[in-house]
């Protein structure tokens, strides 16, 4: 089965030319997405720890939509938080944010989309180094106790 999905974002999302999305209050985003005939939404949130998940769930139920995924791109583009970084403190902050995304994805039975959250590659290291680091991080997350 194929489902259509549209990006939605909180009002503080910077304007971007490269993606079509509804940006504003969650209830308005969900209503407009349903009116446009989409089946689901992909949420772009700057801070999964502070997002009002109950509001989202209520609006999704009201308009009979689902979540396709929670997108992590804003964590890097707005805040510089990324899983692949030379500074451990940035990686550790990223891990905490991503754990929050995984918990929310489990709640909504959807994907946690890593996207550019894994970038940038470490410039003075070979690409394989970055790939291996990324795979190690994903393997760490795949252990059941790590997402909690």
- What is the CATH classification number for the domain harbouring 62? 3.20.20.150
The confidence score (pLDDT) of residue 31 equals: 97
Q: 102-141 b/e with 16+ CB inside 10 Å = b?
A: bbbbeebebebbbbebbbeeeeeeeeeebeebbeebeeeb
Q: Is 90 left (phi over 0), alpha (psi -120 to 50) or beta?
A: alpha
The confidence score (pLDDT) of residue 116 equals: 58
- Which structural domain, as residue segments, surrounds residue 62? 5-146
Pair 73, 21: CB distance under 8 Å: no
The confidence score (pLDDT) of residue 29 equals: 95
How many structural domains is the chain composed of? 1
In whole angstroms, give the CA distance from residue 49 to residue 104: 9
Close Cβ partners of 135 (under 8 Å, ≥ 6 residues apart): none
In whole angstroms, give the CA distance from residue 87 to residue 120: 12
The confidence score (pLDDT) of residue 110 equals: 95
The confidence score (pLDDT) of residue 123 equals: 75
The confidence score (pLDDT) of residue 148 equals: 55
Residues of the chain predicted below pLDDT 50: none
The confidence score (pLDDT) of residue 94 equals: 87
Q: Which residues pair with 111 in a beta bridge?
A: 69
Q: At what angle do helices 88-108 and 53-63 cross, to 10 degrees?
A: 30
The confidence score (pLDDT) of residue 119 equals: 55
The whole-model pTM stands at: 0.81
């Amino acid at each position: 089965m194929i489902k259509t999905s549209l990006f939605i974002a909180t009002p503080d999302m910077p304007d971007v030319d490269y993606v079509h999305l509804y940006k504003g209050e969650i209830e308005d985003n969900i209503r407009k997405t349903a009116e446009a005939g989409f089946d689901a939404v992909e949420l772009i949130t700057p801070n999964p720890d502070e997002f009002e998940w109950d509001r989202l769930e209520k609006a999704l139920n009201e308009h009979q939509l689902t979540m396709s995924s929670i997108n992590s791109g804003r964590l890097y583009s707005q805040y510089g938080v990324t899983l692949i970084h030379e500074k451990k403190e940035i990686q550790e902050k990223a891990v905490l944010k991503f754990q929050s995304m995984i918990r929310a994805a489990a709640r909504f039975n959807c994907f946690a989309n890593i996207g550019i959250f894994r970038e940038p590659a470490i410039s003075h290291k070979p690409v394989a180094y970055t790939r291996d680091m990324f795979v190690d991080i994903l393997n760490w997350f795949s252990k059941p106790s790590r997402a909690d």
